[in-house]
Structure 1
Amino acid sequence: MRFVPLAVAGLTALALTACTAGKEAAPSLGAQPKPSGTASQALPAATLELWHGFSTDAEVKAFEDAIAGFNKKFPQIKVNATKGVQDDQITQSIRGGKAPDVAASFTTDNVAQWCRSGSFQDLTPVIKQDGIDLTVLPEVSRTYTEFEGKRCTMPLLADAYGLYYNKALMKGEQPPKTLSELTALTKKLTVRDANGDIKVAGFVPSFQYYENSPSHMGPMVGATWYNPDGTSAIGSDPAWKQLLTWQKELVDWYGYDKLEKFRKSLGDEWSAEHPFFKGKVAMILDGEWRNAMIAGDPKAKDMDYGTAPLPVADDKPDLYGSGFTAGTVIGVPKGAKHPQHAWELVKHLTTDTGSLVTLSNALRNVPTTKAAMESPDLAEDANFRTFLDIFAHPKTSTLPANVNSVFNQEALSTFLARWEKGAVTDLDAGLKSVDKQIDDKLKLSGG
């Protein structure tokens, strides 16, 4: 894939929020954009401000290495990278007229709001004029980087979610492919003491356990979040009821109080005390980055474990091999001082195979182009390959962009905590109540 200059097109941005009066033009991404081969000669010297959320020494170095590749193409462009920046800081900087030239976010939750408000500039014109073929990206990554026809971000590495299993605890059992197989194996592998307390859990079904969020587990049954008009589909999609019914039966088998006692006794998810490392849980739902955490932990690195796609609903075998994905996104905020230079940096970080492979090898996240996933320079083994395959699976899904994404997830998660506790007597009515909360919030947000 190379870039071909097409018709000149600039970027414009809407006012920052719906409550801000009027419209304000954002800087153009270049009056005469050039193809990659000559752009380094066409652009004047500049210093770019790049904000990102990476914070550890290894993460920061990986980003610096990727930027070094950009500097070889554009030696006249200096990049000042600021680490550990969160979304609210990015948003506030834009509102205050002090936006960086480029900003990266760990989450897709704010993409819809950034695209709709014009906080991040629509990249569609420059993508077209540079001849970038977006089909090099899996469809799912294209969906979580745009909203309402505006592509205001590009994907920069991805997370994919699958099943990790401790081979010693599995005792020769194969990873389950269906929910019924997961239930049976969970019961077989669970160990209790004389009082019935859980010593080893086959699988923890609680939605409050680490990565067991509804967004991560929903793809196991093909659950949908929204109707075509943007209203909530949680109460009308039977897949949610299917997932919750299965989950509650397994919670009840453990005993809610026993399960909660066990869950609350477990170590921190981000420490060496993770229960999977300690042999306290045989199977877990987790992201591809857990491979790197296992390899980096002196006490866990020799653990014999495997990875597989998540089990799926028994009546939906075509879903097997897929899962949930989201990832880091990057774009050019409104008010960037050097938008053309910024676009060249975004383009390099998100489409250059060498850059993506460098980042993936260092951070152990999934690279987001097909060329990078197939690169012979990509460091992989069987356990990491699982997540590359999940990410590329045609039925892998994500949480669709929504202006109230965080609120909607919290509304459902709050309900699920009550559900698994046994405080919900009517599941259908409860899910409809979640719909109402989400739809009422949507109306307040202007649809």
Structure 2
Amino acid sequence: MHRRFISMALAVATATALTACTAGTQGAPALGSQPKPSGSGPAALPAGTIELWHGFSSPAEVKAFEDAVAGFRTKFPQITVKLVKGVQDEQITQAVRGGKAPDVASSFTTDNVAQWCNSGTFQDLTAVIKQDGIDLSVLPEVARSYTEFQGKRCAMPLLADAYGLYYNKKLMKGTTPPKTLSELTELAKKLTVRDADGDIEVAGFIPSFEYYENSASHFAPMTGATWYKPDGTSAIGTDPAWKELLRWQKELVDWYGYDKLNKFRKSLGQEWSADHPFYKGKVAMILDGEWRNAMIANEAKDLDYGTAPLPVADAKPELYGSGFTAGTVIGVPKGAKNPQAAWELVKYLTTDTSALVTLSNALRNVPTTKAALESPDLKKDANFQTFLDIFAHPKTSTVPASVNSAFNQDSLQEFLVKWEKGSVTDLDAGLADVDRRINDKLKLAGG
């Protein structure tokens, strides 16, 4: 699931392609357009073949998906399931446009959900969910929110990512993890080590928006910052929570010294390698996703670390325990040749506790139903439990679905890089310009 950093780059190109997604699928039956098979139970589904495209590619990931689908094959022996690995969003879009859509497709990012729903690239599941009596309250509200757009549910959540704080126990020396932004600032300064020239040798916490997982979306829940107004236009320039977040961040950047911090950041090991600076004791506290637990187990087995929710605004203690979440989504593309069987597979993978636990145990991502979160078969320790609790927290949030989701996040990111560098003299005016860019793009998209 840490492939979201790849998917974000693909989302912009995909969104452009989606707007023209109309051709080549008129002959395929639409989901819910045909009567439900007579009789009841799995045997009522006619024999056939369905093809599922997914983005997993490593041998362990592919095996995990095969193991999860094994239960479906037992339940529906008359259905042949063909799995195709390593597929990205743009390939799905092009296949739908060309009339060669798979029956089921999954994606590592939620950033294309609004476009898929809006364009019909993925079929609306509302009718079949109602037909089958599925109670969507088995999913946390935030997971329901990132798989629908304007009343159309064109995807279901498969697995989730949740973001929290990792801390090095040796460097912390018994200090408890911070719960507020002021505590984070104080501890970051206390744990930072500099040499005689003032260069950073160990950073307590790196506040730069250019550092690994420190995106605006991951930071926003710390102050409760919102992305959009009810009418879909940008709230970034008018929500005071953004200014609170950015002023806190800039004060800590300035304490380090932008040039010193940038020099230190560029000297660090790669995020997706055994040279990660958190493993090496170069950074005491980091923001990261639940998957880091599995990577530490593989790449830094002797690291003594703990996990906790991210610190929150001092005046908003009710936010503590929450965080940011997003994740893998799965649905039935337009033009699926066997949509009813495709839906049964989607339903199985996203609501069957055994299937979700199998995937979570193998991939170390968060399962997305309440039953799976509470399953005794789910492998978890204290460090992984932190992220299960964050995902289930009622105030955990995500970036709401928008037809320009990737563009909007990129626009803010561009501004944030200038902000922390000191190139922005007027924060209000800068954020208002971000609003303008986002809203102009929305008008072009017909919003």
With the shorter chain as reference, the TM-score category is over 0.9
Matched residue, 1:373: 373
Tell me the residue number matched to 1:355: 355
Aligned match of 2:36: 33
Q: Which runs of 5+ in 2 are unaligned?
A: 1-16
Give distance in 2, aligned partners of 1:424 and 1:20: 43
Q: Cα distance, 1:338 vs. partner?
A: 0.5
Which of 272, 283, 286 is the aligned partner of 1:284? 286
Match in the other structure for 1:144: 146
* Partner-residue secondary structure (3-state), 2:190: helix
- Equivalent-residue separation in structure 2 for 1:251 and 1:389 (angstroms): 30
User: 1: CA distance between counterparts of 2:238 and 2:292?
Assistant: 34
1:220 aligned onto 2:222: yes
Across the aligned residues of Structure 1 and Structure 2, the Cα RMSD in angstroms comes to 1.7
Q: Structure 1 residue 435 and structure 2 residue 428: aligned?
A: no
- Does the 8 Å contact 1:188/1:202 carry over to 2? yes
Residue 395 (structure 2) pairs with residue 392 (structure 1): no
Whether contact under 8 Å (2:224, 2:319) holds in the other structure is yes
Amino acid at match of 1:118: G
Structure 1 residue 184: Cα displacement? 0.1
Contact 2:30 2:335 in 1 (8 A): no
TM-superposed CA distance for 1:17, in Å, is: 3.3
- Name the SS of the counterpart of 2:253 in structure 1: helix
Partners of 2:379 and 2:23 in 1: how far apart?
50
Q: Which amino acid aligns with 2:356?
A: L
**What pairs with 1:188-199 in structure 2 (closer than 5 Å)?**
188-199=190-201
> 1:266 & 1:88 partners in 2: Cα distance?
32
- Contact 2:26/2:335 (8 A) holds in 1: no
Whether the aligned pair in 2 keeps the contact of 1:66 and 1:355 (CA below 8 Å) is yes
Aligned to 1:401: 401
- Cα deviation for residue 344 of structure 1 reads 0.4
Equivalent position amino acid for 2:245 in 1: L
Which amino acid in the other structure matches residue 217 of structure 1? Answer: F
> Number of aligned pairs?
430
How far the C-alpha of 1:436 sits from its partner, in A, is 0.2
Partner of 1:341: 341
Match of 1:313 in 2: 313
Is the CA contact (8 Å cut-off) linking 2:18 and 2:115 kept in structure 1? no
Asked whether the 8 Å contact 1:34–1:130 carries over to 2, the reply is no
Q: Please, what TM-score do these two structures have when normalized by structure 1?
A: 0.94
Aligned partner of 1:48 in structure 2 is 50
Kindly report which structure 2 residues correspond to 1:225-240, keeping only aligned pairs within 5 A, or say none.
Answer: 225-240=227-242
- What is the CA-CA distance between 1:25 and the residue it aligns to? 8.2
Distance verdict in 2 for CA 1:303–1:45, change over 3 Å:
same
User: Match for residue 101 of structure 1?
Assistant: 103
Percent identical pairs in the alignment equals 80
TM-score by structure 2 length? 0.94
Say whether the 8 Å CA contact 2:123–2:331 is kept in structure 1: yes
Where does 1:260-299 land on structure 2 (aligned, <5 Å)?
A: 260-297=262-299
Aligned twin of 1:330? 330
Counterpart residue type for residue 345 of structure 1: L
Q: CA deviation at 1:194?
A: 1.0
- Describe the SS at the equivalent of 1:330: strand
| CA deviation map 1:267-313 (0-9, x unaligned) | 1111101101111100000000000000111xx11211000000000
The Cα of 1:27 is off from its aligned counterpart by: 1.9
Give the Cα–Cα distance (whole angstroms) in 2 for the partners of residues 228 and 350 of structure 1: 29
What does residue 167 of structure 1 align with?
169
TM-fit CA distance, 1:345: 0.3
- Which structure 1 residue ranges, 5 or more long, are not aligned? 1-14
* Contact 1:138–1:369, Cα closer than 8 Å, also in 2: yes
> Which of 316-325 and 91-100 deviates more?
91-100
Q: CA deviation at 1:80?
A: 1.1
Q: Assess if the C-alpha contact under 8 Å between 1:26 and 1:121 holds in 2.
A: no
Shift of 1:126: 0.3
Residue-by-residue CA offset, 1:235-271 (whole Å, 9 max, x unaligned): 0000000000000000000000000001111111111
Q: Is the 8 A contact 2:29 2:335 kept in 1?
A: yes
Matched residue, 1:3:
none
> Which letter does structure 2 place at the counterpart of 1:353?
T
Deviating 4+ runs (over 3 angstroms): 15-26
Deviations 1:159-214 (A, max 9, x none): 00000000001111100000000000000000111111111100000011000000
Query: Does structure 1 conserve the Cα–Cα contact (< 8 Å) formed by 2:28 and 2:337?
Result: no
Match of 1:9 in 2: none
Aligned to 2:204: 202
